[in-house]
Amino acid sequence: MNDTNVPNHNVLVFEESAELFASAAKRVIEIAGAAVEARGRFLFVLAGGETPKPLYRKLAQQDAGTSIPWQETHVFWGDERVVPPDDPQSNFGMAAQDLLHAVPLPRANVHRIPVELGATAAARAYARELQTMAAKGLAWPRFDLVLLGLGRDGHTASLFPGSTHPSRSAQATLAVTGSYDQRPTSRVTLTPPVFNSARNIFFLVTGQEKADILSRVFDRDESAVRFPARRINPSRGHVTWFVDRSAASKLEDQPLNN
Ligand code: 6PG
């Protein structure tokens, strides 16, 4: 494993993806335990897409005593596609199948984005749901850990390059349209200010097909700022990139310029 430190961002490069997911799972469990010890609950935002599946399966397998304290855990989603929960494209459905069905997480602690309401109403409803979990006077909770991925076009969650997103406003969620790999174009996403108030963010990026976009996102060139991943910069949190050797193959000498 190679470990490159850049301000606020820690980039971990792993030879093998098995090693990457084992390390990420270990770190998730540590953060969960510390959150419960400090604040009595662990607020965990899950990512969609294919990449996090091995992590979810690993977290589902942990033995008692070395796992997430599920009773005190609340799960959320960074984004959702507007499809039924049992559709293979559903981010909730994927996490339910690979993780949630296998763990003793109270049903009331699953905070799904209610996309059956339609994107706009779901975004509003989810913003209200986030507020119920927030400290008094705030619009959303400060999440303990957010998982994110990186699309080959540079999108993260459902924040697509070239689209405008609130950076400081109090808007917690957005209904968006974005097309990617023929996946549904109607989506709901959390906004950059919500991600940027988190305590920890993990980007999971694997495979040769991500090598180009990863090097572009990390490019010193200011134009890289057009990629939403570059706008994920928690002011009081840490970002860790879990990257495998293939995805990192074009990264040489290109630390994040934030
Ligand atoms: C989604 C995601 C999205 C994802 C990237 C990477 O719902 O599509 O949340 O941001 O993380 O598209 O997807 P893969 O892991 O499938 O490459």
pLDDT digits 0-9 by tens, 13-22? 999 999 999 9
pLDDT at residue 221, as a whole number: 73
Q: Which residue, judged by its Cα, is nearest atom 3 of ligand 1?
A: 157
pLDDT band for 252, please (50, 70, 90 cuts): low
- Report, as an integer, the average pLDDT of 93-120: 96
> Of all atoms in ligand 1, which is nearest to the CA of residue 91?
7
Over residues 59-89, the pLDDT tens digits come to 998 765 678 999 999 999 999 999 999 999 9
Q: Is the CB of 151 under 6 A from ligand 1?
A: yes
> Of all atoms in ligand 1, which is nearest to the CA of residue 149?
11
Half-sphere exposure at residue 211, Cβ-oriented, CA atoms within 13 angstroms: 12
Q: Is the CB of 47 under 6 A from ligand 1?
A: yes
**100 CA distance to ligand 1 middle (Å):** 19
From 76, 156, 182, 190, mutation site for ligand 1 pocket: most ligand atoms within 8 A of C-beta: 156
Residue 102 scores a pLDDT above 80: yes
> Of all atoms in ligand 1, which is nearest to the CA of residue 48?
9
Instruction: Please provide the average confidence, as pLDDT, over all residues in the chain.
Output: 90
Over residues 183-225, the pLDDT tens digits come to 658 999 999 999 999 999 999 999 999 999 999 998 877 677 7
> Of all atoms in ligand 1, which is nearest to the CA of residue 157?
10
**128 CA distance to ligand 1 middle (Å):** 24
pLDDT at residue 212, as a whole number: 95
The owner of tokens 């050797």 is 245
Where does residue 8 fall: left (phi above 0), alpha (psi -120 to 50 degrees), or beta otherwise? left
pLDDT at residue 166, as a whole number: 67
Q: Is the CB of 50 under 6 A from ligand 1?
A: yes
Sheet holding 186-190, edge to edge: 79-81, 186-190, 173-177
Over residues 131-158, the pLDDT tens digits come to 999 999 999 999 999 999 999 999 999 9
**157 CA distance to ligand 1 middle (Å):** 6
pLDDT at residue 1, as a whole number: 43
Residue 122 scores a pLDDT above 80: yes
List, in order, residues 6 or more apart from 79 with CB less than 8 Å away. 47, 48, 91, 113, 157, 158, 187, 188, 189, 190
> Of all atoms in ligand 1, which is nearest to the CA of residue 148?
11
Q: Is the CB of 157 under 6 A from ligand 1?
A: yes
Q: What is the pTM of this model?
A: 0.93
Cα–Cα dist 80/82, whole Å: 6
Over residues 107-116, the pLDDT tens digits come to 999 999 999 9
